[in-house]
Structure 1
Amino acid sequence: MGERRTFGVFLGAVLMLGIADSLSSPYLALFAADEAGLDPLRVGALASASGLSGIVISAWLGRRFDRAPRRIYAVFACVGGALGYALLTVSRSFEVLLLLSLSLLGVVAVAFPQLFALAQVSLGKTPQARRAAPVLRSGWSLAWALGPLVGALVMTRSGFVGVFWATAGTLLVTALLLLFVPVRRFAAGAVTGEQSKRAPLSWGTTALLVLGVMLFFTSMLAGSLVLPFYVTRELDLPAASLGPLFSACAAVEVVVALALAFLPTWKWLVPGGMLLMVGYFAITMVSRDLTGLLLAQVARGAAIAVVGAAGIVYFQEWMAPATGRATTLFSNATTAGVVIAGLLAGFWLEAFSYRTALALCALTALLGAVAFAGAGTRPDVRLRPAADVPASVLSAEDAEG
């Protein structure tokens, strides 16, 4: 299969995975509350269980990927997730839903980092590989611009059951696409001289990088939970105005993520993106109409695209040749942020005004930027433009190190 065709398959798989995620995600909490009759505490427990199990499974499979790159891990995640959503159509018991969240629904989180790591390895040393992360990230953003619209249509016609069956079918299409991806195998000892001389990252440096990403995504999701209340109750705008806001954000994400394919993998690019999120909250807090809120979404979309795309490239470059672990570590940091955000947003909305809650989200993003920047610059790595970053070459020996 040609390199361009292979990249096209990956882009299609990411698009399908993103659509599957965006089809069901807006309705899972509502399903648990309205269909299963669960109280808010149990609804939150299901969300946390799915996120935590995803972190554990992703970390385990990330190490296995570094020992031997295989597409089977991503296929397994998609097929398992499809089965989980199919079972949701007939499950209403909290115990059964909790079991599904800890297993089949949690394993879906594996697909995202595995797809990015697989693309980096499968494409080899090609221009497509060097620009893979930003372009694939733009595909994910595009999926989130389309998926909720499709989900709303399915929900109107077929309810929760229709949404979950549509999600299961889309995940199976993703798995089918991955079967057409050739995986290049690398012998032990194929690591470049530059990579072999790298000293391992210190625990403190890794912790700061992970903390920075986690705090950023905590602020992002907490802000998305606060925003509807701020728009409808503080500014007295109609609920229908929320749709254009999130669509504008997704559109900006696509454009910025594509542009990042041609920008350097600059150390300060990621914390700079985090500061853009601070700017988003600042603009939102002083806005009084839809125009100001739309302007703020430009900053939000750019921030998400920069951290989401450049952040993955940055982790892969610093942790090369362990592509699987690097991508999984980044993905798990985002998942941890999502888990924490739900708890924080609920507390902030209960204890403070909507504008104060947004200010706390801004502070969280600022702390994330400080933590990421505080990791310093690795002396044995020269950060290069995205077009010059070589694809990671994996070996069992180095993956174990």
Structure 2
Amino acid sequence: MEEKISLKQKAYIILGSFLVAAFIIGIAGALQAPTLSRYLAKEVQANPYQIGLFYSVNAIAGIVVSFLLAQYSDNKGIRRNIILFCCLMGIGNCITFAFSRHYLLLISVGIFFSAFTSAAMPQIFASAREYTDHTGRNVVVFNGILRAQLSLAWVIGPPLSFTLAVKYGFTTMYLSAAAMFLVALLIIFMFFPAIRRSAPASKTSEPKEKIFRNRNVMFLFIASISMGTANMMYSIDMPLYLNQILPSAPSLPGHLMGVAAAIEIPAMLVASMLVPRFGNKNLICFAVICGIIFYIGMIISQKEWILIALQVFNGLFIGIVASIGLIYFQDLLPGRTGVASTLFNNCISCSIILAGMLQGTASANFGHHLIYILALIMVSVSLIFCLIITNPVHKTKHLKN
């Protein structure tokens, strides 16, 4: 009896460590991402084209590195060790940005560290999926709770990021993010399970999966890129846009991100529980419609209270897609959780590439308002692809288990 209780307690500790690590790494990311465009513009004196180029190069490097790490982890790598390495790279990345203001150094050395850092979260989600499958727990619900940790981090992170950057400077802000990675590294080292996979099983199943020949995977991939491009253009441009139209409210971008993230948390949890009843497709289509409403509002209004109210739709849009999208990819690629999680993450990276190019070019030549028109078009395109996705019958059964 005592052994069973100890094993049960150990399982709860491991599950808790996933949640805490995801939250802390989320905080580290939420400290850096919201102010990156302002950091590059003010501290590094980068022009709009250089800012767009930086986002694009950073995304390309992240795609390549995270996909290679995903293949390695699915075949024979221990995910725990990979995540530890990614956290070390995160510390290096934060230190580089804290003490350097040279564009060429940041776009080379900084992005080298950032590329490995970006693989941490998909590896955590893959490891969590692997562990919950192994222990027979509810995969969808735990994934929703895990995704909610990121949203909770984004409730705290953006306002804190702007506060640290404005009051204490970017060096303090980046060193704070480095401290978060260090804490996460210690938690992962002490509590994460070191799960080994047999190489023969991976080699047997991998050739059967033709990712880019899977019609549903490709439709979901295109839809996710379209949604992500709209969201990333908004994330990159919004601090600059609000600084132009509402210069008297320098902390407003952080508050908008925080409100949206606060909506995302219940949206993620509720969506994960509604999957068996409504299905992935219906929930994601509902989320995209919320996104369409949000960008229409961004186009037609510049009032502060309306921008805050619109975050309800933005939070539903991002929260549901973030919660359900990852599970959707994992279920469409059974046995390859690392690749599936990374594919979902790489949708975001591909979105950053497109968003960086579009935002830099559009804002420099036509002004910030065009960004939100383009975002509306992107979200509308994603709705079309979501509608034509068909769900394999066996995936639905898996979700209900």
TM-score for both structures, normalised by structure 2: 0.85
Alpha carbons 1:33, 1:43 under 8 Å: kept: yes
- Structure 1: which amino acid aligns with 2:233? A
- Structure 1: which amino acid aligns with 2:395? R
Partner of 2:395: 382
Pairing 1:172-251 to 2, within 5 Å after superposition: 172-179=182-189, 180-187=191-198, 200=210, 203=213, 205=215, 206-227=217-238, 238-251=249-262
Distance 2:162 2:244 in 1: 23
1:60 to 56, 68, 72: 68
Distance 1:44 1:333 in 2: 18
Deviates more, 1:73-82 or 1:128-137: 128-137
Change in CA separation of 1:374 and 1:248 when aligned onto 2, cut-off 3 Å: same
Distance 1:166 1:222 in 2: 26
- Structure 2: which amino acid aligns with 1:55? I
Partner of 1:313: 327
Change in CA separation of 1:29 and 1:243 when aligned onto 2, cut-off 3 Å: closer
- What is the deviation of 1:229? 6.5
Show CA shifts across 1:79-117 (max 9, x none). Answer: 111022223333333332222234112211101101100
- Structure 1: which amino acid aligns with 2:363? L
1:13 to 21, 25, 39: 21
Change in CA separation of 1:351 and 1:60 when aligned onto 2, cut-off 3 Å: same
Distance 2:392 2:271 in 1: 22
Aligned length: 384
Partner of 2:4: none
1:254 to 265, 273, 277: 265
Partner of 1:45: 53
Show CA shifts across 1:45-97 (max 9, x none). Answer: 33322211111011001111111342111111111110222233333333322
Partner of 1:340: 354
2:151 to 141, 151, 170: 141
Show CA shifts across 1:188-244 (max 9, x none). Answer: 7879xxx99x87555262332211101101011223445456667668985554444
Distance 1:122 1:16 in 2: 20
Partner of 1:398: none
Unaligned runs of 5+ in 2: 1-8
Partner of 2:181: 171
Deviates more, 1:24-33 or 1:209-218: 24-33
Q: Would you say 1:281 and 2:295 are equivalent positions?
A: yes
Partner of 1:396: none
- Where is the helix percentage greater, Structure 1 or Structure 2? 2
Change in CA separation of 1:166 and 1:128 when aligned onto 2, cut-off 3 Å: farther
Partner of 1:24: 32
Q: Equivalent residue of 1:261, what SS?
A: helix
Distance 2:298 2:73 in 1: 42
Change in CA separation of 1:387 and 1:178 when aligned onto 2, cut-off 3 Å: farther
Deviates more, 1:291-300 or 1:53-62: 291-300
Partner of 1:271: 285
Partner of 2:341: 327
Q: Would you say 1:127 and 2:170 are equivalent positions?
A: no
Deviates more, 1:180-189 or 1:113-122: 180-189
Deviates more, 1:298-307 or 1:356-365: 356-365
Q: Would you say 1:162 and 2:172 are equivalent positions?
A: yes
Show CA shifts across 1:115-151 (max 9, x none). Answer: 1001111232433544222111111011011112332
Deviates more, 1:347-356 or 1:12-21: 347-356
Deviates more, 1:222-231 or 1:368-377: 222-231
Alpha carbons 1:276, 1:299 under 8 Å: kept: yes
Partner of 2:307: 293
Distance 2:173 2:347 in 1: 28
Alpha carbons 2:209, 2:333 under 8 Å: kept: no
Unaligned runs of 5+ in 1: 389-401
Change in CA separation of 1:109 and 1:246 when aligned onto 2, cut-off 3 Å: same
CA RMSD between the two structures: 3.0
Change in CA separation of 1:181 and 1:129 when aligned onto 2, cut-off 3 Å: farther
Change in CA separation of 1:55 and 1:190 when aligned onto 2, cut-off 3 Å: closer
Change in CA separation of 1:44 and 1:360 when aligned onto 2, cut-off 3 Å: closer
Partner of 2:6: none
Distance 1:295 1:35 in 2: 32
Partner of 2:92: 83
Distance 2:239 2:60 in 1: 26
- What is the deviation of 1:285? 3.4
Alpha carbons 1:234, 1:354 under 8 Å: kept: no
TM-score for both structures, normalised by structure 1: 0.85
Q: Equivalent residue of 1:107, what SS?
A: helix
Distance 2:46 2:13 in 1: 46
Alpha carbons 1:262, 1:387 under 8 Å: kept: no
Alpha carbons 1:78, 1:111 under 8 Å: kept: yes
State percent identity of aligned pairs. 24
Show CA shifts across 1:313-346 (max 9, x none). Answer: 0000110110000000000011110221122123
Q: Equivalent residue of 1:57, what SS?
A: helix
Alpha carbons 2:140, 2:327 under 8 Å: kept: no
Alpha carbons 2:161, 2:254 under 8 Å: kept: no
